[in-house]
A and B are shown apart, each in its own frame.
Chain A
Amino acid sequence: MPIHIIDRRLNPGGKSLENRQRFLRRAKSLVQGAVKKTSQERDIKDVLEGGEVTIPLDGMHEPRFRREGGTRDMVLPGNKKFIEGDYLQRSGQGSAKNSGPGEGDGEDAFRFVLSRDEFVDLFLDDLELPDLAKRKVAQTESEGIQRAGYTTSGSPANISVSRTVRRALARRIALKRPSKEEIEELEAAIEACTDDDERLVLLAQLEKLKAKSKRIPFIDPLDIRYRRFETVPKPVAQAVMFCLMDVSGSMSEHMKDLAKRFYMLLYVFLKRRYKHVDIVFIRHTDRAEEVDEQTFFYGPASGGTLVSSALQAMHEIVRERFNPSDWNIYAAQASDGDNSYSDGELTGLLLTDKILPVCQFFAYLEVGESGGSAFDLSDSSLWTLYERLRNSGAPLSMRKVSERSEIFPVFHDLFQRRDTAQEKAAP
């Protein structure tokens, strides 16, 4: 009898993927709620990790006709001391199978693991980047070149030597073109030959071979192949994210933590939209400097506060390294709102003239001490300034935050479809 043994391990996996997606789609609102709850509890870094969520089973229950109650009979193994006619206490030992009513009700929640992508997808599901549509045209502006097989015509610079020679070789073999060695061998034989008759025969042969080798060229124009290129539209798939933060003495650890969470979320979001995301950290007191992440969040600094210094620094970095036609530029500024009064004018000017025109998006996050809700914060100097700018039409997003749990809603607000966001933002 024939027996087939088949190795299926290399078969493409993920056979259940579609069913799983259907399941998630069906349970979407439930899962989304669970994701929101879970993400509020965990560190932002772990947002990208996916993980286990629990949803109520109710919506996903598959009902069947089930019977319950009534008199029950059962046969069990392992009798030790019972004899016929004994009575057992219902809730006592010796009746392991006899749990009371409500048995099976324990599974009212359904736990399962979401992959990283699924988690983030659900998390960011109804968020939308501002002005994305506007930049869509710009995205396909640049064109790239891509190899696309071979062609029979083209510029000499694009001749594919290896392909051409390979084809020539195949043709020579197919047409039986005499090789150089063959001819040399025959010539040597003629040289060494003493018999005239034989010599004549060999000469004739040599003649024939030479003629044949002339008829069949080493490389025929037919053999030549050129490398073919195609132009493909290349989206601008890179973004740079500027993190601006006030690190003067008035910023507490708590405020920095809030800011950090906000930056990370922005990063997560950009990462999903763009292939390549650069981050530039600019911290400032009364002067600004570009620093690495560690210094940015944890490096000690002290001094006054000049916001314009940071904007100036950002403007210079953009000019030097990030051409706005190649990069999508995002900026997020976090501050406790302090700024010296004399700086207000300059800050406003820099922002409207230099920064905002090149930015896709500029968000300002005003962080406060924990305990004070966003309501209690009186408007700071920076907030007042930015608000004035926004009211005169500058595309700014701004929010006040003082608790960790407020980060997510804020983020959500900021990136909601533009129109609604603006309506909401207007106090």
Chain B
Amino acid sequence: MTERLFEGADWDFHTLQRITDACETVAMKDLGLDVYPNQIEVITAEQMLDAYSSVGMPLFYKHWSFGKQFAYHEASYRKGLMGLAYEIVINSSPCISYLMEENTATMQTLVIAHAAFGHNHFFKNNYLFKQWTDADGILDYLDFAKNYVMQCEERHGRIEVERTLDAAHALMSHGIDRYPGKKKLDLREEEKRAGRRRQHEEEVFNDLWRTVPKGASKTRSAISLERRRKLLGLPQENLLYFLEKSAPRLAPWQRELLRIVRHIAQYFYPQSQTKVMNEGTATYVHYRIMTQLHQQGRISDGNFLEFLGSHTNVVFQPEFDDPRFSGFNPYALGFAMMQDIERIVTSPSDEDREWFPDIAGKNDVMGVLRDVWANYRDESFIAQFLSPKLMRQLRMFHLHDDPEERAGIRVDAIHDERGFRRVRRELARQHDVGYIDANIEVVDVDLSGDRRLILHHHVIKGAQLNETDAKRVLQHLADLWTYDVSLIEVDANDKVLREYVVSPRPITAAA
């Protein structure tokens, strides 16, 4: 019989090393995972709180909103309203996992299996992460961003920088390219680029040019709408990108700040689209690894029971009428789907053969799963792999709430033969970020007139913008654009529902 990895709850760094080695063997040999090199860091609760307030990253530029986050988390943690996560894992290479020092040895094993192998594999192999994030460069880029913001504060004043960042943060959710562009983002190159540009500016700076009288500006004949739009790259849904490239009066450093915020938003974009899959993968991986270690006799029965306790808590899905219910638990749904795929692949029923002819009975569980993990995001994953059996098991149903409907909320579909496809389509749609975020884009700029920036919000299903927030965000937008901004809410038939117009605030000198 093989030696136990640990006894009881205590661990030290040798134990961690043994645990990681054991997990790695299972992950590589049995599951065939492909991961970035691992870096495991043990931190205290206080450091975990620190990490929380900078969106989990080990370093970040300074901004008051992170302080607010910190104050908020700290208050709720102290009062016992909130427990801290067992780990945080960062999509970088090497892949950094933070483990809490309070965890028992069993929990550390669970967490290492979950983060250092589960999430890590997903980060490295999922197409969205490959397309949108640069795991090798992110930490260096954050370091660059931090220093850049600091330098800007020295040169241009803290308040100016803060104002630009506030505005950029307000627009962050609309600073994302949703469709792959021409080339992959290279964050290291970004950093060099900014440095080169600054150097160039300093080299060619000649104060004389400032004194040269300017000729009368050329009057340009009105160009056609089509041509103008094309020149500006409109319509454009990435508001931050548009401002960075086209806002008429931004200083270069402000453009660079917008660029930084945009890059960071883009870095997190895949995570928001793959919550179910990412957690499902990690949970499935830790479950397999822990079970395997237990079977090998490397974890005692008692410790395995402790693991099962935590595992069940993690994948607990309260029903809709339960007071604890707050939507689908991505861990629960993800894990259930992964297990379901395993079942379909190994012992399919006739129904499965009909619904999943490609994978049913294929017998290569890990092969199928690795392929799924690499090539899907939440929306497509659910649309493709949610099986009737699982829908029955979770007793899913679809509600349609139309405020116009007097009779109440209609039950549109349930987990029966007629409803399976509709329930599945609807659940998939709920996980589509393109559908969740408001669809706002820049459609035109009145270049010949008052330079007003015109945006459209394409209203889907009657959901309009929250008024107070919309006004505030538009205010930030107008401050960056420095001319009037108008946002028009239109429905699917191009009917105008509402129009906002916001003027920029005068820039208070040396505020």
Contact = CB atoms under 8 A, between A and B. Distances in A.
B46 interface: yes
Interface string A96-139: 11100000000000111100000000000000000000000000
Interface stretch (B48-56, B202-210, B251-259, B340-348): B48-56
Given A5-B20, A73-B400, A88-B411, A67 B68 contact: no
Interface residues of A, number: 64
Interface in A4-38: 4-9, 11, 13-16, 18-26
Nearest to B169: A62
Interface in B157-203: 162, 166, 169-170, 172-174
Given A65-B469, A88-B399, A16 B49 contact: yes
B464 A67 contact: yes
A9 B44 contact: yes
A60 B63 CA distance: 13
B409 A69 contact: no
Contacts of A8: 41-43, 47, 98
Given A4-B94, A25-B64, A65-B440, A71 B320 contact: no
Given A65-B469, A77-B395, A94 B321 contact: yes
Nearest to B101: A9
A82 interface: yes
Contacts of A1: 24, 35, 37-38
B62 A18 contact: yes
A125 B404 CA distance: 55
B382 to A, nearest CB: 10
A375 B75 CA distance: 43
A24 to B, nearest CB: 7
Nearest to A74: B399
B394 A86 contact: no
Give the one of B78, B397, B464 with max A CB within 10 A: B397
B232 interface: no
A215 interface: no
A174 interface: no
- The listed residue with most B CB atoms (<10 A of its CB), out of A24, A67, A73, is A67
Contact of A88 (B50, B174, B409): B409
Interface in B93-107: 94, 98, 101
A98 to B, nearest CB: 6
Given A7-B13, A26-B64, A64-B473, A71 B408 contact: no
Give the one of A8, A88, A110 with max B CB within 10 A: A8
A21 B71 CA distance: 10
Interface in A42-77: 52, 60-77
B469 A19 contact: no
A392 interface: no
Nearest to A76: B320
A1 B27 CA distance: 12
A74 B398 contact: yes
A90 B408 CA distance: 5
Interface residues of B, number: 100
B55 to A, nearest CB: 12
B416 interface: yes
B419 interface: yes
A87 interface: yes
B50 A77 contact: no
Contact of A65 (B37, B414, B427, B465): B465
B411 A87 contact: yes
Contacts of A52: 75
Interface SS of chain A = loop
A85 B410 contact: yes
B42 A70 contact: no
A69 B476 CA distance: 24
Interface string B472-510: 110010000000000000000000000000000000000
A2 interface: yes
Given A6-B40, A15-B50, A65-B473, A78 B70 contact: no
Interface in B368-388: none
B328 interface: yes
Contacts of A85: 410-411
Given A5-B16, A63-B469, A23 B78 contact: no
B13 to A, nearest CB: 6
A396 B44 CA distance: 53
A96 B324 CA distance: 10
Contact of A67 (B67, B319, B427, B465): B465
A80 interface: yes
B319 A77 contact: yes
A294 interface: no
B418 interface: yes
Given A68-B466, A71-B462, A112-B75, A5 B17 contact: yes
Given A8-B47, A82-B397, A83-B414, A16 B66 contact: yes
Given A4-B38, A52-B75, A75-B398, 8 more contacts: A1-B35, A1-B37, A7-B41, A13-B46, A13-B47, A19-B70, A24-B67, A76-B325
Interface of B: 13, 16-17, 20-21, 24, 35, 37-44, 46-47, 49-50, 53-54, 62-68, 70-72, 74-75, 78, 94, 98, 101, 162, 166, 169-170, 172-174, 317-323, 325, 327-328, 394-404, 407-416, 418-419, 423, 426-427, 429-430, 437-438, 440, 457, 459-466, 468-470, 472-473, 476
Interface of A: 1-9, 11, 13-16, 18-26, 52, 60-80, 82-90, 93-98, 110-113
20 contacts: A1-B38, A2-B37, A3-B17, A4-B39, A6-B42, A18-B67, A62-B65, A62-B166, A63-B468, A63-B476, A65-B469, A66-B466, A72-B463, A73-B398, A73-B430, A79-B415, A83-B414, A84-B412, A110-B72, A112-B74
Shortest beta-carbon contacts, A-B, top 9: A78-B319, A23-B67, A70-B462, A70-B463, A19-B67, A63-B472, A112-B71, A76-B320, A22-B64
